[in-house]
Structure 1
């Protein structure tokens, strides 16, 4: 056992589960450059042609005039910028042709600062031989028929959706539909596969509607915190059932809840499961299907950066990590008949074997990112995991440099045995 591992064990609170720990092996690493941007449709309103204008609290027109900060540390990334950033990836779905569909969240972290952020999904092609990522196509979300219960922050006949309308944190293609988990409602949103809105299905638990503060609904029985709606979605192997996970506990509960939605009947079934985080206070940032009655999820703390080397006592907080990442876990869970999501095995994402020294990061690969919100199965024994780099607000690999988006292909055979 390394001294670092021993220190983590000493610092980590009591683990609530007897899940078996296993180690993964990094077999591919591809980086999407932090400055990557998207090309725009020709008919988008002027509001979307420059993004990040509201991140300082007031509208700012001057390009690259506002620098992002990550927990007080300067990131070296600036907004506003021409076009839309290809960043802030919050979920992914691996495709049989070796590409991966990804979704960006609401833009810049809040409803109030993201009205100029277009909501989109992008299909990417990671090249693990070269270590880079190429964009294949982008799908912009729209509501031309005004079927969603929104005020639509930016008016246009095409109904382009913005980060002031929705906060899409997860998605799954199933059959001829695209399903999106939203945090503002929260809703499970139904779209055509070319991005046109069909319906919004409000969250329901035990027959009662769940609402977040950013919804204008009047029939709310359960009110949750802001940005605590649907963070993860998983779809069953047959494509008939959706599992939607709330990011934070319901009022009066200490556990996280997974709700079941019937995709054929377009309704909540009433079935739900309770997940007790391995580490008290942790969040679950990603969810995906594993096998019948089994899911994969990523549990994380809010720390970023590594503890080693330690932050010198005399160093200012703005140039080193004083709140390092201590708990980033990939967890395989079983959905039991008793309504529990029971942890079976765990993989520490801060200690992934890297025998080929990919990325020049030594023989051990760590994902010390503030938010890791993507996990998708690749074949029978591998997973693809990526960080949400919160552009321009996340510097977790280096204290004062905006993170790239890292796509880590991990051999996880032991996790699935």
Structure 2
């Protein structure tokens, strides 16, 4: 009996130690308080440019389950799994949302971007790629889209035929690139992309200037959506090699304070011989890859971002200073647990409620090149205090939450505040309500202690 009791104590001690180690690995939780919220309605649209081909004047014509063309507007229901979201496709214009990446500029406004359209290359050939200059009125709770820059490739920089190959303006679409992260610079924009994955450079008018293949050291990074891959005609022949899962490319793109480096963060892990990259304690690791902006090439240096136990992906990434940064980390859940399903997914419940939605502060420096970044601490986006009822939607019992499957926008606003926003995957995500497409919610969060933590 004594031996059994002693063994039980030893197991308890091991479990406690493991829990403490996990807490240390993730840093500590910091308080977050809602200061303001602004909402951009889900079904916000913009007209295609006057010189765009007729094909681009409506979007979502190939979103039927079998990809058969649907020319009649409003005939294809948007769904989040088995749950209708109340939106009907095709649209009579271009969908502005969802937003995937944000960067504050000196005048207090922001640049953001719409991601690739309707979720895949196959159904997004009529979804135009675009960047947006926005201003947020926190007092009024509104988002003002001041300018939209439509992306194009007039100089044929893309190393493959684009959907609008034979057109005059050669506008880019979601069948060409999956743009997910943005860094404005003096003469244009750097954009992180997922199909290649590629690092893209555009001028201020949205014209493609350069396309950079991705390398980690000498290893080329290739997604299954990269157009260089071709299936063999003979099934007995070897399949083409790729080492990144679909939608695993550059979800995060940060820039050093002096502009000399970009840091591109993959959303998914690299695979070697069919196995994902991990850190010493077994957690999945995602690569942060350094790019020299003057040389226009990767430096060969990288770091590893270790996911939390329940984390599956990152959502956005921006530097705070030369060595620390903000990263969104998430699971694949959506909706509140109280409305979760039991058994099979149904229209009146959330199949996989949200649990892990966090903003991490990390440290990456010369001292840990090639090694895991240090997680200083995190904010829990499922537990943002709202004692004064600042939220226009999303607060219950004094707590605001973000139960969205994808939260893909974060940046510092000042010494005490950050901005966070969801990507609503329009029209397919419904995490705030069971039967309604999510709006784009921008929140201003007071997190001074977190931002100053070391």
Shared fold (TM-score greater than 0.5)? yes
Distance 1:261 1:312, change over 3 A: closer
Cα deviation 1:313-332 (Å, max 9, x = unaligned): 59972112231100001000
TM-score (norm 2): 0.85
Cα deviation 1:192-211 (Å, max 9, x = unaligned): 12211111010001112111
Q: CA deviation at 1:402?
A: 0.5
Query: Which residue of structure 2 lines up, in the alignment, with residue 371 of structure 1?
Result: 406
Matched, 1:125 2:99: no
**Contact 1:208-1:221 within 8 A present in 2 as well:** no
Query: Which residue of structure 2 lines up, in the alignment, with residue 227 of structure 1?
Result: 247
**Contact 1:209-1:222 within 8 A present in 2 as well:** no
Q: CA deviation at 1:97?
A: 2.4
Query: Which residue of structure 1 lines up, in the alignment, with residue 207 of structure 2?
Result: 196
Query: Which residue of structure 2 lines up, in the alignment, with residue 100 of structure 1?
Result: 110
**Contact 2:194-2:251 within 8 A present in 1 as well:** yes
Matched, 1:402 2:437: yes
Query: Which residue of structure 2 lines up, in the alignment, with residue 6 of structure 1?
Result: none
Q: CA deviation at 1:221?
A: 7.2
**Contact 2:310-2:331 within 8 A present in 1 as well:** no
Please say which structure displays the higher CA radius of gyration: 2
Matched, 1:23 2:25: no
> Which among 75, 98, 102 is matched to residue 65 of structure 1?
75
Correspondences of 1:76-115 after superposition (within 5 Å): 76-115=86-125
Cα deviation 1:310-366 (Å, max 9, x = unaligned): 447599721122311000010000114232211001000000011221215241110
How many residues are paired up? 404
Q: How many angstroms apart in 1 are the aligned matches of 2:44 and 2:352?
A: 28
Q: How many angstroms apart in 2 are the aligned matches of 1:87 and 1:207?
A: 36
Structure 1 residue runs of 5 or longer lacking an equivalent are: 1-13
> Which among 50, 54, 58 is matched to residue 46 of structure 1?
54
Q: How many angstroms apart in 1 are the aligned matches of 2:341 and 2:42?
A: 28
> Which among 294, 309, 314 is matched to residue 279 of structure 1?
309
Matched, 1:266 2:296: yes
Q: Which runs of 4+ in 1 moved over 6 A?
A: 218-221
**Contact 1:16-1:279 within 8 A present in 2 as well:** no
Q: How many angstroms apart in 2 are the aligned matches of 1:27 and 1:280?
A: 28
SS at 2:25 equivalent: coil
SS at 1:82 equivalent: coil
SS at 2:347 equivalent: helix
Q: How many angstroms apart in 2 are the aligned matches of 1:16 and 1:322?
A: 31
Query: Which 10-residue stretch deviates more, 151-160 or 162-171?
Result: 151-160
Structure 2 residue runs of 5 or longer lacking an equivalent are: 1-21, 231-239, 279-284
Aligned CA RMSD, in angstroms, stands at 2.0
Correspondences of 1:200-211 after superposition (within 5 Å): 200-211=211-222
SS at 1:318 equivalent: coil
Q: How many angstroms apart in 2 are the aligned matches of 1:365 and 1:169?
A: 26
Distance 1:211 1:316, change over 3 A: closer
Query: Which residue of structure 2 lines up, in the alignment, with residue 33 of structure 1?
Result: 41
- Choose between structure 1 and 2: higher strand proportion: 1
Q: How many angstroms apart in 1 are the aligned matches of 2:73 and 2:242?
A: 42
Correspondences of 1:273-352 after superposition (within 5 Å): 273-308=303-338, 310-311=339-340, 317-336=346-365, 337-338=367-368, 339-352=371-384
Q: How many angstroms apart in 2 are the aligned matches of 1:277 and 1:215?
A: 25
Distance 1:297 1:289, change over 3 A: same
Matched, 1:168 2:202: no
Q: How many angstroms apart in 2 are the aligned matches of 1:278 and 1:228?
A: 17
Query: Which residue of structure 2 lines up, in the alignment, with residue 240 of structure 1?
Result: 260
Q: How many angstroms apart in 1 are the aligned matches of 2:250 and 2:23?
A: 25
Cα deviation 1:8-29 (Å, max 9, x = unaligned): xxxxxx6672401101111110
